[in-house]
Amino acid sequence: MISNGYLIFEDETFLDSTVAKMNALRKSGQFCDVRLQVCGHELMAHRAVLACCSPYLFEIFNSDIEAHGVSHVTFEDLDPEAVEILLNYAYTAQLKADKALVKEVYSAAKRLKMERVKQICGDYLLSKMDSQTAISFRNFASCMGDGRMLAKIDAYIQEHLLEVSEQEDFLKLPRLKVSRPQQTF
């Protein structure tokens, strides 16, 4: 289309094909300029792609003195499968995680400051919560420092206290001493 003397064309397939090609390059190790060491596993990627998806990695790459070579970033506390899932997300915008890995993906997303993924994983966990899992989910949310999840879990526990209190996880909680204020007349 010509507008105001300029040729303007938008190729709607270009972005998808470029992203697909970048992912294929990553999977074959071509033009990769960062190695992620995750608990003994090595994952290759492109710094520019990761910097766009992860503010945490952006900060690391932005201060990297070896900016023209291959960077190495080590994570000893993340699950390699979870990081691979996040890499696939970075290159495809699709989050595919087995339900058994969602907590690990959440933890990795939190560490990498991938807030949208963290929120999606948190929402998924909340959607799977029931009276049997409420206490363990609350413990997880507390460890992660996720106030949003904690508030929703606490509301669920208050609403379903009888069912939750009959569960093994609840019965394993340390005893609480509850005192009643005395009335003075």
Whole-structure pTM value = 0.84
Query: What phi and psi, each to the nearest 5 degrees, are found at residue 146?
Result: -95, 95
Residue ranges of domains in the chain, CATH in brackets = 24-114 (3.30.710.10), 129-169 (no CATH)
**Residue pLDDT tens, the chain, 185 long:** 666 789 988 998 998 899 999 999 999 999 999 999 999 999 999 999 999 999 999 999 988 655 566 689 999 999 999 999 999 999 999 999 999 999 999 999 999 999 999 999 999 999 999 999 999 999 999 999 999 999 999 999 999 999 998 888 888 877 655 456 666 65
